[in-house]
């Protein structure tokens, strides 16, 4: 069985790492360059960098900041935010990205997924999906969760896989920042539907929640922000806990 991945996420706004609850009430969580280096040394399997205001404010991803972060890493690095065309991706590759995450632009123009997969390979393309339960149905939301669409979650991730997405990064807006656990039912359904890996995001509050997302939720990776940023859970301790529960993880070098 493939090792489950632990992925800290750096949500960036105005050059700083921030974290909120249900996509609002953001608070400062530190310098992204320092945090990236810390997580790389602490045993994280990958790192995700999302410029959470890039699409909303019509800005390109902060490539200079991404370059600074990448310089301090020895683990795979995904960058997202404001990516609308192949030219944007070339900039991010030069900045040190191993993968790119696309979200709003792909919903508005799904052909973007095909173009990226053809140009760079499926393994390079991560589809980030922000979704919320509305009247019992999961609907995709855009621009950092500000805009509800008519696109249903399971239809969209299925189409994305067919178009060439190599991975799904699913964030439950209902669970984001609550520390009440991941959206395991939705994750398990997607895992059974798709053949590509699924990264679970939104709701991590304890080591137990990670064990649940890998078993009940059938996720391939667990992503979290605030519990790592504010020192509530250490990555090495989390991996020891998961290993003890029979969840396969990559060991941390000590």
Which residues are tagged catalytic? 11, 130
Of 142, 88, 147, 146, nearest to 120 (Cα)?
Answer: 88
**What phi, psi does 73 have (nearest 5°)?**
-110, 155
The H-assigned helical ranges of the chain are: 32-42, 63-70, 86-95, 104-108, 111-120, 153-163, 184-193, 207-215, 226-229, 235-244
**Dihedral angle over CA of 189, 11, 139, 135, nearest 10:** 90
**Are β-strands 47-51 and 125-134 bridged in parallel, bridged antiparallel, or unpaired?**
unpaired
DSSP assignment of 23-34 equals: TEEEEEEE-HHH
46 Cβ partners below 8 Å, 6+ apart?
Answer: 5, 7, 75, 76, 77, 78, 221
* Assigned token pair, 12: 């960036």
* Assigned token pair, 27: 């608070």
The angle subtended at Cα 203 by Cα 199 and Cα 208, nearest 5°, is: 90
């Amino acid at each position: 069985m493939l090792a489950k991945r632990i992925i800290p996420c750096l949500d960036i706004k105005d050059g700083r790492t921030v974290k909120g609850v249900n996509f609002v009430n953001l608070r400062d969580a530190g310098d992204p360059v320092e945090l990236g280096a810390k997580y790389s040394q602490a045993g994280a399997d990958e790192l995700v960098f999302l410029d959470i205001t890039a699409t909303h404010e019509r800005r390109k991803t902060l490539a200079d900041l991404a370059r600074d972060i990448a310089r301090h890493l020895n683990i795979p690095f995904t960058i997202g935010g404001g990516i609308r065309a192949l030219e944007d991706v070339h900039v991010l590759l030069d900045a040190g990205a191993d993968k790119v995450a696309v979200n709003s632009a792909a919903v508005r123009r799904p052909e973007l997924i095909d173009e990226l997969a053809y140009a760079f390979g499926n393994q390079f393309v991560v589809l980030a999906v922000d979704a919320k339960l509305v009247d019992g149905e999961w609907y995709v939301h855009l621009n950092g969760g500000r805009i509800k669409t008519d696109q249903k979650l399971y239809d969209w991730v299925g189409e994305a896989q067919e178009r060439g997405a190599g991975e799904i990064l699913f964030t439950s807006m209902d669970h984001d920042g609550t520390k009440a656990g991941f959206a395991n039912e939705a994750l398990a359904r997607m895992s059974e539907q798709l053949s590509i890996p699924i990264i679970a995001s939104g709701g991590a509050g304890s080591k137990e929640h990670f064990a649940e997302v890998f078993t009940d939720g059938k996720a391939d990776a667990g992503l979290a922000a605030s519990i790592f940023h504010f020192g509530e859970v250490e990555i090495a301790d989390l991996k020891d806990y998961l290993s003890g529960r029979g969840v396969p993880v990559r060991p941390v070098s000590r």
